[in-house]
Structure 1
Amino acid sequence: MSAERAELVTVGRLTSVYGIRGWVKVHSYTEPAENILQFNQWWLQNPKSSGSGGWQPLEIDAGKRHGKGLIVHIKGVDDRDLAAQFCQRDVAVSATEMPQLDEGEFYWHQLQGLQVVSQYEGREYRFGEVVRLMETGANDVMVVRGGEDDRERLIPYLPGEFIASVDLQARQITVHWDPEF
């Protein structure tokens, strides 16, 4: 399968070299972090591209936890200088490799770009789109920008409390949120 045909999901980043034998440190976006090692086919963002374009296959032949982080070995790369060329680049996998979630659960990449509307005191307010999500420890938070008043809002992602519904087909999240907040 080519990277152009599959929807790719960014799951981590190669950050820096580790040792002298071609190992690199990985910052994983998966939860738990070790889950990134379970994916069969990794795609590495080309160094000159940014955003969603330009991916090349990356073969990993070993990976493990090291201290508080993860390290992986790139197949055929046994030199520190060569390994450095792979660093500071995003790692993605095909969306088809992602584990199936239970109904009502969503991956962050599915929520990004969705329009957020609030039903508040009998009126609908358009808050803009989810530009990213972040962990706060207590719960995840949606960063929503744009909308009628062109503000940025931080809305806790708490289904049943602030999140009324998520409709991937309509590309919309309905929230219970005061537009003044």
Structure 2
Amino acid sequence: MNPPDDTTRLGHFLGPHGVSGGVKVYVLGDPAQLLELPRVWVEGRGWLRVRRADPLAPGVALHLAGIITREGAEALRGANVYAADADLPPLEEGEYYYHELRGLPVYGAAGERLGEVADVQDAGHQDLLVVTHAAGEGFLPLQAPYVEVRLNAQGRPEAVALTDEAPAGLLGEEEGEA
């Protein structure tokens, strides 16, 4: 069962928290984003209502409808957790969610269009943009000073651009083509 469109992966379940069905979440990004969610989409289960969310350094403990025992929480271990993009809390000006990068054009340092962002993946120590381009698909590290996310007048992402400091070949192009 694949997650619905217009959802963003928040992290994955680590295991039980307590004896009454709480489950710890390894959170990608800011754990505070999970505290007010009305529901989450759980891999293998579908949409579940959030009964309660407790801050738990470094993540969050979720109490979900239908999960009331430690064994029920244990069964969720390793499952990915998603939120509907529309349910995510608003951000401060100039900040953005990674799902807002999907579909944006990617430009080279000289302004040429290189491709489009298909997705963002957590690669542990660094996030990667999955970029579709003329030669197929490639990964682009979402890392300053090589990549800049350009914002529009409303402070929302409108494009991704490589900077002059980006090494040649980040998307697999030959050095002479860049």
Query: TM-score surpassing 0.5?
Result: yes
Q: Which residue of 2 aligns with 1:78?
A: 68
Q: Does 1:98 align with 2:88?
A: yes
Q: Which residue of 2 aligns with 1:126?
A: 114
Residue 142 of structure 1: how far off its partner (Å) = 4.7
**1:166, 1:174 within 8 Å by CA — same for their partners in 2?**
no
The match for 2:106 is 116
Query: Using the alignment, how far apart are the partners of 2:8 and 2:67 within structure 1?
Result: 24
Per-residue deviation at 1:108? 0.8
Matched-pair identity in %: 18
Task: Give distance in 1, aligned partners of 2:91 and 2:114.
Answer: 28
Amino acid in the other structure paired with 1:97: D
Amino acid in the other structure paired with 2:41:
W
Q: Against the structure 1 CA distance between its residues 176 and 93, is the aligned structure 2 distance closer, same or farther, given a 3 Å change threshold?
A: same
Report the equivalent of 2:43.
45
Superposition deviation, residue 39 in structure 1 = 0.9
| Cα-to-partner distance string for 1:12-47 (whole Å, 9 max, x where unaligned) | 32221234332211112242x133121112222226
Alignment match, 1:21: 20
Q: Is the 8 A contact 2:115 2:133 kept in 1?
A: yes
Q: TM-score, normalised by structure 2?
A: 0.64
How big is the shift at 1:125?
A: 6.0
Letter in 2 for 1:64: D
Instruction: Show the counterpart of 1:176.
Output: 163
Count of residues in Structure 1 that have an aligned counterpart in Structure 2: 162
Q: Is the 8 A contact 2:108 2:163 kept in 1?
A: yes
Q: Which amino acid aligns with 1:70?
A: V
- Over the aligned positions, Cα root-mean-square deviation in angstroms equals 3.9
Larger mean CA deviation between 57-66 and 37-46 belongs to: 57-66
What CA distance in whole angstroms lies between the structure 2 residues aligned with 1:67 and 1:100?
22
Alignment of 1:155-170 (within 5 A): 155-157=142-144, 162-163=147-148, 165=150
Distance in structure 1 (CA, Å) of the matches to 2:68 and 2:22: 8
Structure 2 match to 1:61: 51
Structure 2 unaligned regions, length at least 5:
153-157, 170-178
For the Cα contact (< 8 Å) 2:148–2:162, is it kept in 1? yes
Amino acid aligned to 1:78: I
Q: Cα 1:126–1:25, aligned 2, differ >3 Å: closer, same or farther?
A: same
Structure 1 window deviating more from structure 2 (79-88 vs 94-103): it is: 94-103
Local SS of the residue matching 1:46: coil
8 Å CA contact 1:133, 1:143 repeated in 2: yes
TM norm structure 1: 0.63
Render the CA deviation track for 1:70-122: whole Å, top value 9, x for unaligned. Answer: 222233433222222223222222222223345654211111453421133xx
